[in-house]
A and B are shown apart, each in its own frame.
Chain A
Amino acid sequence: MPEMEIKHDNMNQPDNFPGIGKRLPYREPEDFFDQLPERTLEKARQRTRSKSSLRIVWKAVAVAASVAAVVFLVILSQNEPQVPVVAETKTEAVEPPVIQEEHVSAVEKETDTPKVTVPQKEQTVASPEENVGDVLADLTDEELLQMAAMFEADLFTEDRNMDN
């Protein structure tokens, strides 16, 4: 029977079962309690070690993920300024500037109203240090085709053209 000092405050003796008492029909193996503390301590140490090494791995993974995210954001932010300029100018990108002027003059002839909004918009949208013509000249045929496809898929541009 286990030996332990327990204080019993305001406690009545539990119901007795005559002839039974507190004895148990179970037995523990010999020397069980002598060896158990050392074995348990070893187990506890191993568990602590494995947990801490697992924690280190997780920290390393978290740091690597953070670095990757930062690098990705930096790359994204470097590409970002080009994207809006190209996107805004892509409305006219399908047609070379010369054709645009012809188109504008043709529209002017048809409506007899001075519609010079297209070139004005191009001037306001494009940043001062970048010329749209230069940008377009730098683009490959493939990129131009991609921009044309984007332009066709751009509903907002269509609405604006329809308004015009």
Chain B
Amino acid sequence: MSETSDAYLFSLIKNPATRDKGFLQLMNEYQKPLYWHIRRLVVSHEDAEDILQETFVNVYRFADSFKGESRVFTWLYRIATNECTRHFRKNKNWLKNAELITDKMMGDLTGTDSDDSERMLVKFQQAILKLPEKQRLVFNLRYYDEMSYEEIAQILDSSVNTLKTNYHYACEKIKQHLIEHA
């Protein structure tokens, strides 16, 4: 989405008369990428839905605080990522639940006539889930959302060099996990 239309959307949201219309347009524009970003982090659909709603509720309530200094999608990703981090802190057992879900997915896949590539996808997700939180965030934003390190730095409040290191280690660990569980 272009920066002009982002600015237009926010002008709608900041105006009480057109707030709801602008909000719905913004959601239609960004709900999918944000949902998948959150889902990759928390795995469970229910958790992802809750966090996604919370993200947009915050946008609705605090739209006035968006000054346009960063791009809208960076701002949205930042809010969503913060909500995910809060979710991890609040639910200390979330990783156990996430592993159970991926295990169940593996079981489902084994029971069907799915091909090896599908099983590989689950193993890949398991490897990502085993990463430390920071590496997991960096890997997902870089690998799936194809963000530049500068954009990730804005979202995670981190330096580019640290992010590059995190991403490198994440890739190495995932490769290692795939080799060990091949």
Residues of chain A touching chain B, judged by Cβ–Cβ distance below 8 Å, are: 1-6, 8-11, 14-15, 17, 19-20, 22-26, 28-29, 32-33, 36-41, 43-45, 47-48, 51
- In B143-179, the 8 Å CB interface with A consists of 143-151, 167, 171, 174-175, 178
Say whether, besides A36-B27, A37-B27, A40-B27, A2 and B36 are in contact (CB < 8 Å).
Answer: yes
Interface residues of B (CB under 8 A from A): 1, 20, 23-24, 27-28, 30-33, 35-37, 39-40, 43, 45, 49, 52-53, 56-57, 60-61, 73, 102, 105, 109, 117-118, 120-122, 124-125, 142-151, 167, 171, 174-175, 178
List, in ascending order, chain A residues with CB within 8 A of B125's CB: 24-25
Inter-subunit contact B124/A17 (CB<8 Å) = yes
In the assembled complex, the CB of B63 is this many whole angstroms from the nearest CB of chain A, namely 10
* Known A9-B150, A11-B149, A38-B24; 15 more pairs at CB < 8 Å: A2-B32, A2-B36, A10-B148, A17-B175, A24-B39, A24-B40, A26-B45, A28-B45, A36-B31, A39-B53, A41-B60, A43-B57, A44-B23, A44-B60, A47-B60
A10 to chain B, nearest CB (A): 7
Residue on A with the closest CB to B143?
A14
Q: How far is the CB of B148 from chain A (nearest CB, A)?
A: 4
CA distance A6 to B143 in the complex (A): 13
